[in-house]
Amino acid sequence: MGNCLRKHRREPDSPVLTPTGGSYRSKKVNGTTVGDGTIPAFSSTSMGERKRETQRSPLQEIKHVTSNTDIGAERHIDKKRLAHRIAGKAAKKSNIAVVNKNDGVFHAYYKYNVHCFCYSDLKEATRKFSSRNLIGQGGFGDVYIGYVTYCSMASAEKPNEGVAVAIKRLRKTGPQGHEQWKNEIKYMGKLNHPNIVKLIGYCKEGEQRILVYEYMSKGSLETQLLAEKAPHLDWRRRINVAIDIAKALDSLHNHGTPVIHRDLKASNVLLDKDFNAKLSDFGLARYGPLADQDRILTRILGTKGYIAPEYIGTGHVTLKTDVYSFGVVLLEILSGCCAVKKYSDGMAGDLTQWAGPYLSNKQQLHRVIDQRLGRNFPTKEAQKFAELTLLCLASDPKCRPTMTEVVAELKELQENTSSSGSSSNPKPYCALTFTPCPPPCIVQ
C-alpha cells in the first residue's frame, strides 16, 4: 500500500544466504558456468563486472576475512558475529525495520533512519483520527496519540497491546506545509540526542503528510507553565528543564554543519513522564553559516515574541538568533508567563519589554518570579538566572553567550541549587499578570 516497506521476492537465480556463511547458486553467463557454490555470480558484463568486483557482498565479506587469516586462526572466527553483520547488511538493503526493545526506541535502516508507515495503519492506531485521541494542535497540524506494535510497526487496537506514539498530521495543504514536513524528516531523522524528540517514522500517501514521534506524556513546557496549578514545576525542575533545552541547542550549534532551529519556544519543548525536556518541531530549521560566514540571509519566519530583533530588522539569521529565543524561554520559565499576552481589548503585551527593567534590579526581581514558587527557591541562584536571561536577550547578538557557555552557567546553578537544599513543595499559586511596559506587575 502506498510507498510502504515490502519484502522483496527472491528470484530463482538470486543468491541464498545461510547464517553460517551460505552459498550461491551457479549460473551460466555467455555459455560459461559461473559460481561454484561459494563465489557470487553476476549476470551480465554490461552491468559492469569490474565495478561489482569492488563491492563485496556479505558472503564475500566473510571470504575476505577468512582469506587473510591462517588456517589455525580461521577456526576461531566468531561466526555468530559475522552472521549478525550479514543480517544487518541484508536488513539495510531491503529496508527492513530493526527494533530495539531494550530502550523502547524504534530504529530502522531506511532513508533518514525512520520508518515508512501506511496511512491505514496510522488511521487505525488513532481510531480514525478520533477527537478522543487528539492531544495537541499547532500551526503544522493536529497531534494524536496512537499505539503501534514493536515487531510489525502496525497499529494496535488497544493501548496495552502497543507502544504510545504521537502522530502529527499536516492540516494545511500546499507547498509551505509540504516543505515543513520534509524539513522535519531532513533534520530530526539525522539528529540523535537525548534532549531532541525522536522521529520514529512518516507517511506519504496521496495528499496525506504525517509524522510519528515518541510520545511525551507531560505535554509541552508552555502547557505546564500556564496551568492554573503547576505544583510539579518547582525550582529544581525548572533549572533542569532549562539545562535540557540548552544541551539540545548546544548540540545543534556544534553539529558537523551547524543547525539553527529558528522556532524555539515553550510550546516546542516537550516533557516526558520524568519532566525531562526535549526539543521538537524542526519545520523551520536550516543549516547555519559555514566557517567563512557569520550569518545567512533568509526569509523571516518564527513566532512573535521569540524572534531576535536583528533578525526582524535585517533578515540575517545566526546561531545567536537561537540564543535570543532561548532567553525568552528562560524568562517564561522564571516568570510562568507566556512570551506574548493577549488582552480582551485586543492589545498584546511583550514579556521581554515588561520584564527587562526588573531583571536587572535585584530589589524588583520578585515582581518577575512566578508567584507559584512562593519562597521555595534560592535567592542568589534566581538572581544569577535572571542575569543569564538578560545576557541571552542582549540587543547586540555579539554580546550574547554561546550555548556552550549557557550550559556551563546553568550546570553551576544546578549544583548550587542542589547544595542549598531548597524545598520541592511550592506554595499555593498567586496570580501574576503584566502589562505592556513600563507599569509594574500587578500581584492579586
The H or E element that residue 355 is part of is helix 351-359
Per the annotation, the verdict on 263 as an active-site residue is: yes
| C-alpha pair distances (Å), 186 with each of 111, 153, 298, 393 | 10, 21, 18, 29
Q: How far is CA 294 from the centre of its chain?
A: 25
Q: With CA atoms as reference, report the closest residue to 157 among 123, 208, 200.
A: 123
Q: Are 407 and 242 in contact (CB under 8 A)?
A: no
Q: Phi first, then psi: give them for residue 433, nearest 5 degrees.
A: -125, 165
Catalytic residue among 250, 263, 281, 322: 263
Please answer whether residues 206 and 261 qualify as being in contact, where contact means their C-beta atoms are separated by less than 8 angstroms: no
Number of other CB atoms surrounding residue 143 within 10 Å: 18
For 312-351, b where at least 16 C-beta lie within 10 A, e where not — what string?
Answer: eeeebbbbbbbbbbbbbbbbbbbbbbbbbbeeeeeeebbb
Helix (H, G, I), strand (E, B) or coil at 397: helix
Q: What is the DSSP letter of 11?
A: P
Q: Which residues are catalytic?
A: 263
